[in-house]
Structure 1
C-alpha cells in the first residue's frame, strides 16, 4: 500500500467533486484512489494523486460508453471520442465542451505534461487513442448486435482494458524511461500481452454478475456461454485461461535478453512494478463494492456469487 494513500484520496475526491458528476457516489464506492495506492506502492504524493485521477477518469469515460447516452449511438460515440482525442493532442488550447470526460482528461493531461517525460507523454497519447477508439468499436458492435467470437473479443479486449496505458503509468510512477527498442522486444511484448490478458480476463469474471444483469455482452464469460458452455463451465473456462497465461508469463520471463546493467536493472524494476500492479488490482477488486457490492468480503472468502436479476430495458 502506498503511504501517501490518504492524502491522495482526499485530493482526488476534491478533484472529482469539482466536476459535478451525476454518478459520483458510484465512482466513490469503487475507491479508485485505493486502486492507485495498491497498484503504485512507490509513487510520491503528487504522482499518486495524478494516478488516482486517471483511474477515476477511465471509469467515468468507460461508463459513458457502457451505460450513458453514447452507449447506443455509434455516431455520438465517435463524436465524443474525437473530442477526447483532441484533448490528448493539445490540452493546452482545448476549450471546454459539453462532454465532461474530455474536460476531466484535459486536467489530467496538464498534470502529466508537468510531471512526465516526453516519451511517457507520447506513449500515453498513443495508448489512450487505442483505448478510446476501441470503446467506439464496442458501441458499434452493440448497436449492430454483432456477436464476437472468443478470438475477436480477446483482440478488442486488449484495447478496452486500457492496460497499455497502465504500463506507461507504471514507468511514470517510478520515473523510469525504458527505451522503445526494449519494450518492443518480442519477449517484452509477450510479457505485456500476458499481464494484459490475466487482468482483463480476471476482470471479466469479477464483473460478470453486474454485466449480465444489464444485458452487456462485452465479457469473455458471456461470450463463452454463447458458444454453448454453462455459466459455471464458462467461469472455469476463463479461469483456466488466466492460469495458462500466468504460467506462460513465468516461462517467458526466463527469456528476457540483456541490454547492459543499467537497462537490465530498469527492466527488472519495471516488470516487478507491473506485477505489483496486477496483484494490487486483484486485491482491490475484492476490497470495494465495485463488483460484488456489500458482499465483497464474503465473496472473497467463499467464491460464491448470487446472481443479480436482469434489469428491465
Structure 2
C-alpha cells in the first residue's frame, strides 16, 4: 500500500460524529475535590511568578536569546487557565485533603502538557537531535546524574527547573509510604522519557497492523497516564506489596486503563493535532492507511468497549488477600477508575481541544467543521528554552558523551521485563536513603 507522507488537509474535516466515550463506569458525573479552585490558582501563581523572575534575571544578564523564556505573560496565563489542567487533579483525586500534594501533581500536569507541546512541535523536523538532547536533560534530573545543585536551571532552563522541583517534592516527602512508591513513580517517568525518544523516530509501516503495533509500543508510555497511576499510592498512602503490584490481573487493569486514556486523547485531539501536523494519533494512522475519519472514530468506540470488557475480566479475576489488603486494593482500583474518568471529563471541559465549542460538542457529540482549539501555552512553541550559547555547548557535550548509550526496547505487559528492570534499577539507586 502506498502511504501518504503528509497529514490530511485541515480544511477537509467535515462534521463528524465522535464516539460516545462516557460509558460503563465513566457514565456517572464525576466528583470534584473541594480544593480545586485554590490549588489551580496556587499553581498558576507559582509558575507565573517564577517565570517572570527568571525572565527579568536573564534580561539583566543579557543571556536571553529569544523574546520569552516560559511564555508566562498575561496572554499565556490566560491560555493556561483556560486549559484548566488542575481540573484533572480535582477529579482524579476527589478525596485527597492534602493541599501540598494536590499542588505537586497540578504543577506536574501544567509542566507535562507544556513539555509535550514542545515535542509535538518537532514532529516535522528532520533533525531530531535537539529534541533528543532535550529529553535526555530531564532524564539526568530524574536519575540524579547531573552535578547541579537544587536551584540549578532556575534561569538557564526553567522547564527543567520546574520538573526538578516536582521530583524533589515527591522524593523528599516524609509522609510518603516506603521508597517503593516513589520508585514506581520514578520508573514510570523514566519509561515516559524513553518512549519519547522512540517516538522521535517512529515511521508508519506498510500494513495497518504493524503501524498500530509500533505506535502503541511507545504511545502506551507517552500518553503519561502511568505516572498518574503511581500518584494514587502516593496520595492515599497505600502499601501495595510486590506480589499485588506485579500480579498479571493488576498489570492487565493498568494496561486497560492506559489504553482507554490513549483512545480518549487521540479521539478528542485528532482535529487539533491534524492542524498542527502532529502524526502521533491513532485516528490519523488509520486514515493514513485508507480508512475514513468517521470509520476511524467508530473503530475507536469499538475498541473502547472491548477495553471495558477486558477491565471487568481482570478485576473479577483478582485474588483475595484478606480484609486489610483488599481494602487497599479496592482504594487503588477506584483510583485507577477516577484517573481515567478525570482525563475524559477534563477533555470535554477544557478549551484545549474544542475551544468555545466545547459545551456544544459534549452535548451533541458532533465535531463541526469550524471547531477551534486552544493554542499551547507558548503559541510559537519549539525547543526554545536553552537561553545562552554556553548552555547550548554544555548540552551538546553531554549529548555527545552519552551517544554510545542505548535505550532498552519498551514493552507494556510484564513488570519483570528487561527494559522495566533497567529503569527500576536507576530509580532505586536514586532513592537509596530518600
| Aligned equivalents of 2:126, 2:115: Cα separation in 1 | 15
**Contact 1:62–1:135 under 8 Å retained in 2:** no
| Aligned equivalents of 2:140, 2:230: Cα separation in 1 | 20
Length, aligned pairs only: 307
Q: Which has the higher contact order (CA 8 A, sep 6+)?
A: 2
Unaligned runs of 5+ in 1: none
2:68 aligned with 1:6, yes or no? no
* Deviation readout 1:248-291 (Å, 9 max, x if unpaired): 10122100012232211100110011101211221111111011
**Contact 1:182–1:188 under 8 Å retained in 2:** yes
2:182 aligned with 1:121, yes or no? yes
Aligned twin of 2:402? none
Distance 1:247 1:280, change over 3 A: same
| Aligned equivalents of 1:30, 1:163: Cα separation in 2 | 18
Aligned twin of 1:47? 101
Q: Kindly state the Cα deviation for residue 71 of structure 1 after the two structures are TM-superposed.
A: 6.2
Structure that is richer in helix per residue = 1
Unaligned runs of 5+ in 2: 1-31, 53-69, 373-434
Question: TM-score when scaled to structure 1?
Answer: 0.91
| Aligned equivalents of 2:81, 2:200: Cα separation in 1 | 25
Q: Kindly state the Cα deviation for residue 70 of structure 1 after the two structures are TM-superposed.
A: 10
| Aligned equivalents of 2:123, 2:312: Cα separation in 1 | 42
| Aligned equivalents of 2:261, 2:336: Cα separation in 1 | 11
**Contact 2:204–2:211 under 8 Å retained in 1:** no
- Residue aligned with 1:299, SS: helix
**Contact 1:213–1:309 under 8 Å retained in 2:** no
2:96 aligned with 1:31, yes or no? no
Question: TM-score when scaled to structure 2?
Answer: 0.67
2:136 aligned with 1:93, yes or no? no
User: Residues 45-194 of structure 1 correspond to what in structure 2 (within 5 A)?
Assistant: 45-67=99-121, 73-90=127-144, 93=149, 95-96=152-153, 98-115=156-173, 116-117=176-177, 118-141=179-202, 146=204, 149-194=211-256
Aligned twin of 1:246? 308
Distance 1:24 1:73, change over 3 A: farther
| Aligned equivalents of 1:229, 1:146: Cα separation in 2 | 15
* Deviation readout 1:124-178 (Å, 9 max, x if unpaired): 111101111211222223xxx5557112111211011111111101111212121
Q: Kindly state the Cα deviation for residue 309 of structure 1 after the two structures are TM-superposed.
A: 9.4
